[in-house]
């Protein structure tokens, strides 16, 4: 496949073996540079490359790129162009940074302007997110939650195996990695309380998710098919969908989560394209019982991606403890099925929409993607390496998510998605 960058090529930029960002990755993000300007960027090893400067210098002149695609503070203009353009830019970048390309290597004038060290720049939110949808597509997660809150014998609701269940979230409070989040105040009522009470949530949780970022779907609202869905999927990020379980439990009937979910979500700064992940395709669980309706049917062969995921908790002043190791390959509904379902009714998909997978839990306890499941709603606290225990996330804990794919020749990663929980703000009646 011409759009997959040869795993053998090497860049003249130094890339360590454990780096998430070899020349085969070519992720896309938005950077605030030392001079305060913001523009789109990619990264090879620890070198961040200013795409706006490359564009000004005519490097993408054969890519059919719209003028000034990369000089803004989001990737949306790039996302709104076609998959052919996305691919053409990636292949141009891998070509000029290939160590065989002596030509660009010695263009020191351009290189000195466009290259910076990663530690000297600040990553900002890569996409101006229009709409945020969150699915609920891990069978293990849905089963665990259903067992805890309803009935272990009927953990999955009747619709779950027929519909990629999802809800419309809120995009205004999605942040890039590095964001500090205040513990939300809200209304809670445990089953034993007679009346609800108000105050800081006592059950703050992470949700280990991935999310895909879209291009423009058909503007007349025609459905996107499973088969064509990847023409409209730009790439993936890590997503920590912060959740307040006590608020959630009281508010979610009958319309689903509301304030328990929209106080903060956090994504990793680099969007990793599906082409970069192509060598890591993986089979999806089979869907025979029941078989989905025709518009959702898809062969399980290579319908998922093998992306290793982990979550660490780092209390203030202490070392990090890994509390979960999961994998994106466990998803029951693929991203293709999610997008086909989302658009089957005429819903318009726009460049820069973000669609979360839902919490990604694996089959055993060490692979659960939330503290709700890891500690079974707080009944089985876990021990951290500093000797303290956790049922949920405590104030000043840093939650770190990582994801990467690897085989013998290649490692493609997402970097980190980290977010610290701060104490709640004081609320007073005015």
User: Using CB under 5 A as the criterion, which residues of the chain lie in contact with Ca ion when the complex forms?
Assistant: 134, 207, 241
CB of 146 to Ca ion, least distance (A): 15
Comparing CA positions, the residue from 311, 352, 360 lying closest to residue 334 is 360
Nearest-CB residue for Ca ion: 241
| Complex with Ca ion: residue 65 or 360, whichever CB lies closer | 360
Does 162 participate in catalysis according to the annotation? no
Comparing CA positions, the residue from 385, 384, 381, 420 lying closest to residue 399 is 420
The residue count of the chain comes to 430
Strand intervals (E) in 345-410: 354-356, 382-383, 389-390, 398-406
CB of 209 to Ca ion, least distance (A): 6
CB of 231 to Ca ion, least distance (A): 26
| Longest alpha-carbon distance in the chain | 74
Helix, strand or coil, per DSSP, at residue 280? helix
C-alpha of 250 from chain center: 27
Distance CA 100, CA 94 (A): 11
Distance CA 332, CA 409 (A): 28
CB of 332 to Ca ion, least distance (A): 15
| Complex with Ca ion: residue 74 or 171, whichever CB lies closer | 171
| Complex with Ca ion: residue 40 or 208, whichever CB lies closer | 208
Distance CA 203, CA 131 (A): 27
Burial 251-280 (b: 16+ CB within 10 A, else e): beeeebbebbbbbbbbbbbbbbbbbbbbbb
Residue that the structure tokens 């998922």 belong to: 304
CB of 356 to Ca ion, least distance (A): 6
Q: Which of 141, 330, 341, 342 is catalytic?
A: 141
| Complex with Ca ion: residue 207 or 418, whichever CB lies closer | 207
Residue that the structure tokens 């701060």 belong to: 422
Query: C-alpha angle 223/224/225, rounded to 5°?
Result: 110
| Complex with Ca ion: residue 4 or 156, whichever CB lies closer | 156
Please give the positions annotated as active site.
141
């Amino acid at each position: 496949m011409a759009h997959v960058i040869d795993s053998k090529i090497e860049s003249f930029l130094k890339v360590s073996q454990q780096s998430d960002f070899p020349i085969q990755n070519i992720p896309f993000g938005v950077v605030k540079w030392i001079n305060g300007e913001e523009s789109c960027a990619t990264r090879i090893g620890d070198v961040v490359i200013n795409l706006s400067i490359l564009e000004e210098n005519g490097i993408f002149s054969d890519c059919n790129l719209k003028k000034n695609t990369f000089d803004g503070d989001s990737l949306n203009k790039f996302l709104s162009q076609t998959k052919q353009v996305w691919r053409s830019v990636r292949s141009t970048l891998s070509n000029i940074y290939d160590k065989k390309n002596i030509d660009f290597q010695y263009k020191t004038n351009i290189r000195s302007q466009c290259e910076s060290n990663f530690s000297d720049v600040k990553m900002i939110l890569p996409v101006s997110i229009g709409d945020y949808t969150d699915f609920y597509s891990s069978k293990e997660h849905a089963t665990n939650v259903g067992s805890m809150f309803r009935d272990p014998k009927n953990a999955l609701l009747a619709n779950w195996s027929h519909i990629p269940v999802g809800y419309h979230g809120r995009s205004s409070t999605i942040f890039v990695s590095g964001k500090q989040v205040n513990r939300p105040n809200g209304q809670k009522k445990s089953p034993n309380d007679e009346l609800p009470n108000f105050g800081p949530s006592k059950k703050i949780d992470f949700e280990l998710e991935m999310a895909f970022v879209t291009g423009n779907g058909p503007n007349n609202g025609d459905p996107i098919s499973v088969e064509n869905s990847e023409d409209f999927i730009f790439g993936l990020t890590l997503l920590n969908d912060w959740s307040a379980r006590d608020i959630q439990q009281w508010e979610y009937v009958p319309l689903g989560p509301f304030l328990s979910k929209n106080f903060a979500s956090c994504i990793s700064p680099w969007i990793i394209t599906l082409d970069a992940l192509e060598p890591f395709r993986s089979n999806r669980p089979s869907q025979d019982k029941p078989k989905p309706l025709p518009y959702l049917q898809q062969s399980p062969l290579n319908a998922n991606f093998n992306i290793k995921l982990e979550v660490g908790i780092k209390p203030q002043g202490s070392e990090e403890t890994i509390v979960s190791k999961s994998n994106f390959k466990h998803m029951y509904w693929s991203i293709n099925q999610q997008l086909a379902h989302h658009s089957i009714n005429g819903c318009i998909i726009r460049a820069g929409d973000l669609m979360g997978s839902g919490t990604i839990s694996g089959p055993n306890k060490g692979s659960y993607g939330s503290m709700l499941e890891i500690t079974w709603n707080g009944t089985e606290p876990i021990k951290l390496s500093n000797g303290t225990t956790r049922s949920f996330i405590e104030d000043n804990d840093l939650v770190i998510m990582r994801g990467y794919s690897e085989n013998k020749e290649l490692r493609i990663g997402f970097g980190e998605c980290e977010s610290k929980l701060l104490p709640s703000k004081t609320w007073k009646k005015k």
